[in-house]
Chains A and B, each alone.
Chain A
């Protein structure tokens, strides 16, 4: 019978991404409730030393698949290794990151195992030992609570920045196991040619603790400098509304909303954004929302914890100055 909870960690260039710790933390909570062990799966090349990091957050066992061909993520290699391990060990629940990589992987893996996947979940619970997952649909205009039929493993991906992190326990250790897998080169059809790092990119919007976002009211691409200055001071990532992106002021990778990224930072500062429904859907789960807008009737004020009615060209630099004084 299927037993145990697995989480699939995510690394890039040998560094674990924060979502990996969020998954271990959530996996620990579920494992304790079920009275089952928590296993973290770590794929990469020369990656074994990272296993102890996963232990600190609560993993009982870390299965390490160490292979040159796993250094960089490819759908082919990762899905085939994980599917093989899952078939051998039969975990009952498997959680992956709802990152671009994790979504790609989970879809392929689920089809290999002939099971379903609940994507981009924000909350997990258990009912009669079975996973119950809550996930946003229509970019957060509603939430669906889903369960699984009798198929195992029950696969879900978790949205970054939402699940609570455990306090790392430096004294905690895990059993580290070398994965046994057969990876045939003929299965590897795709090839990664290169990775182009985004220029000046700090933290991605989906992982950012703080976001300063600008819309139509920014009036032009040159004015985003104001937001970047504020973002620098509070260690935030700069985002944009759809109209700003469609106007060509910012790259589409900066877009927050239904056709862009769905974000949930601790602090979201919306500057010159009126608050179209498709934008609100993309940032409505932010913990604290600040709106700075000239128009007191702008719908964004209905969602904002703190509203400033005023000219962003005056308020934003003044805010930057005030926060600098606080530090």
Chain B
């Protein structure tokens, strides 16, 4: 499964002096929440069918903490690609790095979160599936592996309904909230995780050309970050009773805001 580390969702986002990055001081870094569903699903599949769960991440050293969390939940081993030349990669750059790691592994299912809860792109999964030449099913809320382990059937949530989709393995699935209830790492799990293998690799070790990743290899360039349009508190609707308040609100929405 592929893992990303992101700021906790309660984080206030401040734009840095350079205008193209966010201030990372005092950020609480956590495993991307959608990746927790991916880890949990991988573990459930392993419990039913056997096999091994490998966690692959890209990023600086702090990401090992999130990989250890996945190992503490029950994953077997971790691989972190930590290389300064990977910094500033766009989705395709990250997918190239992940593909370089994964292509040499023996895999049946690749699980990713449906998107990173930082840049919210949700592109890496599809990019990776294409690079590996395997089918993808994204935004999955229910996953079943056939008894013989040759196919998966997934429920994919779209606007106004759910598609049920079947794919042969190996395949890539991206996890949506609702797929499962991620377990907490137990204390014995945390102890065991400390002894589980966690390899750190560089871009060169993966046989990748540094020009294919990082800022150099990116097609998409962030030219500036801006804060959202400031919303200010509006009117508090007058009225002595709930009925009066409701009547005044209805009038304001109809005559002033013209939205009903």
Contact of A195 among B161, B224, B227, B243 (CB under 8 A): B161
- Bitwise, A102-145 to B at CB < 8 A (1) or not (0) is 01101110111011111110000000000010111111111111
Q: Could you give 11 example pairs across A and B, Cβ below 8 Å?
A: A104-B138, A107-B122, A111-B131, A115-B219, A120-B121, A145-B223, A194-B164, A252-B176, A276-B10, A277-B10, A303-B233
Chain A residues, Cβ within 8 Å of B218: 116, 149
| Pair B159/A138 contact, Cβ less than 8 Å | no
Cβ of A306 under 8 Å from chain B? yes
Which residues in window 179-194 of A have CB below 8 A to B?
189-194
Q: How far is the CB of B57 from the nearest CB of chain A, in Å?
A: 19
| Pair B126/A258 contact, Cβ less than 8 Å | no
The docked-state distance in angstroms from the alpha carbon of A154 to that of B222 is 14
Q: What residue in chain A is nearest B138 (Cβ atoms)?
A: A104
A148, A189, A192, A210: residue with the most chain B Cβ atoms closer than 10 Å: A189
| Pair A253/B234 contact, Cβ less than 8 Å | no
Chain B residues, Cβ within 8 Å of A303: 231, 233
- Interface stretch of the complex, out of B70-78, B79-87, B198-206, B250-258: B250-258
The docked-state distance in angstroms from the alpha carbon of A235 to that of B235 is 24
Q: How far is the CB of A297 from the nearest CB of chain B, in Å?
A: 12
- How many of A's residues come within 8 Å of B, CB to CB? 95
> Given A100-B157, A139-B120, A194-B163, list of 12 further CB < 8 A pairs?
A100-B158, A103-B138, A111-B129, A145-B222, A145-B225, A148-B220, A189-B168, A193-B164, A260-B177, A307-B235, A315-B245, A322-B249
Q: A197-B161, A321-B246 are in contact. Are A142 and B228 (CB under 8 A)?
A: yes
Chain A residues, Cβ within 8 Å of B259: 210, 266-267, 287-288
| Pair B15/A319 contact, Cβ less than 8 Å | no
- Bitwise, A195-228 to B at CB < 8 A (1) or not (0) is 1111001011011001000000000000000000
| Pair B118/A319 contact, Cβ less than 8 Å | no
Contact-residue bracket for chain B: 35 or more
| Pair A326/B219 contact, Cβ less than 8 Å | no
Q: How far is the CB of B140 from the nearest CB of chain A, in Å?
A: 11
| Pair A190/B167 contact, Cβ less than 8 Å | yes
| Pair A198/B161 contact, Cβ less than 8 Å | yes
Cβ of A305 under 8 Å from chain B? yes
Cβ of A311 under 8 Å from chain B? yes
| Pair B136/A144 contact, Cβ less than 8 Å | no
Cβ of B108 under 8 Å from chain A? no
Q: What residue in chain B is nearest A111 (Cβ atoms)?
A: B130
Q: A107-B126, A190-B135 are in contact. Are A195 and B163 (CB under 8 A)?
A: yes
Cβ of A165 under 8 Å from chain B? no
Cβ of A255 under 8 Å from chain B? yes
Q: What residue in chain A is nearest B132 (Cβ atoms)?
A: A111
Chain A residues, Cβ within 8 Å of B118: 137-138
Q: A142-B22, A143-B225, A190-B166 are in contact. Are A326 and B250 (CB under 8 A)?
A: yes
The docked-state distance in angstroms from the alpha carbon of A51 to that of B176 is 34
